[in-house]
Amino acid sequence: MPASVFNGVISFGLVSVSITVLRASEDHSVRFRRIHTADRGLVRNRYWCEVEDREVTFGEIGRARAIELIAFIPAAAVDPLRIGPGYYLQPQGVVAARPYLVLRHALERASRVAVARFAWQGRERLGLLRVRGDVIALYGLL
C-alpha cells in the first residue's frame, strides 16, 4: 500500500469527511541535493519565525488540512490538458466511510466532478475530485 501524503478532511456545506490522501502514481525522476561548492557541504532550508526571531521545526508550522469543495460541474466540461497528477482519497475509519460513499455515489450518478480548493506544499491550489472505480481521486489542476 502506498504511503499517505497527508491526512485531512473534505468539507462541503455542513459535512466534513476525514480522509487520507495516497499517491496514485510514482515519480521516478532523479532528485539532486544542493551543495556548497567551496567545501561540498549540504545546503539546507531553515524555517525561521520572524516574530520570535528563532528557528522553528516543521511540526510547529500551521498547515491547512481541508479540501473545500467549491463547485460541482459536468465531467465533460473539464479540459483533459488541465488535469495534473492524481491522488486517491481514502476515508479514515468507519464514521467517515458513510459520507464518503454518499459523496462518491452523488458524483457518479450525476456524472459530475467537484472543483476543490486546497493548500498543498506551501500554496493554495485548485483541484478536481472525480470518481475512479470505487474511490474518489483528487487531481491538481494546471
Domains in the chain, please, with CATH? 4-31+64-141 (2.40.290.10)
> Model confidence over 32-88: pLDDT tens digits?
888 889 998 988 888 899 999 999 987 787 777 889 999 999 999 999 999 988 999
Query: For the whole prediction, is pTM greater than 0.85?
Result: no
> Model confidence over 88-116: pLDDT tens digits?
999 999 999 999 999 999 999 999 999 99
| Residue 1: band (very low, low, confident or very high) from pLDDT cuts 50, 70, 90 | low
pLDDT value for 112 = 95
**Residues with Cβ < 8 Å from 44, sequence gap 6 or more?**
none
pLDDT value for 7 = 87
| Residue 25: band (very low, low, confident or very high) from pLDDT cuts 50, 70, 90 | confident
* Amino acid symbol at 34: R
